[in-house]
Structure 1
Amino acid sequence: MSRTRKPVIAGWFSGDGDDFRLLGTRCSACASVFFPREDTHCRNPGCPGGDLEEVPLSRRGRIWSYTDSQYRPPSPYVTNPELPWEPYALIAVELETERLVVLGQAVPGVTVRDLAVGMEVEVVPGVLHEDAEAVRTTWQWRPTRGR
């Protein structure tokens, strides 16, 4: 039986494979771009406010900072306490076009030893958690290594 794939947070990303994109919003008055998306008002304190439109964000960016998680995060992060904890790399990526930094996990198998500030990475679909009912999908960062 195939489990349903459900995004961890609906409306924050779309697509699959090469068309996978994070979704942000852009203010029509000041051109500020937001992620996570903003659907009610412009977050720029100097902006009089404008319409907010959904925009796909750049697929690639450069590592701004990174670290690893050596401990099991507390609830509401979902983990199986029966399984041993597997640390993962957490990457802050600067999207140059949008001029913002987006945080996310590295793809499985990539550790902090594989990363460097300034390295190019791309956003790809990933899995945060699987249970009997669904596969909870999210975004992850993968080094491009000349792709």
Structure 2
Amino acid sequence: MVARWFTGGGDDFRLLGTCCRSCTSVFFPREDVHCRNPGCAGGELEEVPLSRRGRVWSYTDGRYRPPSPYVTDPELPWEPYALIAVELEAERMVVLGQAVPGVTVAELAVGMEVEVVSGVLHEDAETIWTTWQWRPTGVTA
């Protein structure tokens, strides 16, 4: 089985986690083998879509070109990006991710509402690698 991190597109784009049917703990990234809750004897795990929205829990900016295996084009100038920790609305868990291009730390605040959207991690002539990104609600890309 190939583990999927997300599904859908546009307004249907969602991160995928897993939920233990015994203790109802939710996990992201997903877990397909056993319940990670140390107080649970274990149970069947099912794939669940996670909340599309959440609130900024913390944030910082990436002002350096990350090392491998992160892929960047060394021929292009490095563009800083905002990294956001978001507490998901229903699950109350924190998920990290980049902000959509153009959103800087100057535009972010703890507690601000954001939503998950599809983004491009890297692309070349043959492939586009997609990921999730966080976008302040009310902002269109």
Query: What per-residue deviation string (whole Å, max 9, x for no partner) do you get for residues 58-91 of structure 1?
Result: 0000000000000000000000111111000000
Name the count of aligned residue pairs: 139
Tell me the TM-score normalized by structure 1: 0.91
Higher RCO (C-alpha 8 Å, min separation 6): 1
Equivalent residue for 2:39? 46
What's the CA shift for 1:145?
3.4
Aligned counterparts of 1:146 and 1:97: Cα–Cα separation in 2: 22
RMSD: 1.5
Matches of 1:141 and 1:131, distance apart in 2? 23
Determine helix, strand or coil for the equivalent of 2:11: helix
Q: In the alignment, does 2:13 pair up with 1:20?
A: yes
Q: Which runs of 4+ in 1 moved over 4 A?
A: none
Distance 1:84 1:146 in 2: 26
Cα distance in 2 for partners of 1:99, 1:134 equals 34
CA contact (8 A) 1:120 1:145 kept: no
TM-score, structure 2 length as denominator? 0.95
Gaps of 5+ in 1: 1-8
Gaps of 5+ in 2: none
Could you say which residue in structure 1 is the equivalent of 2:112? 119
Could you say which residue in structure 2 is the equivalent of 1:73? 66
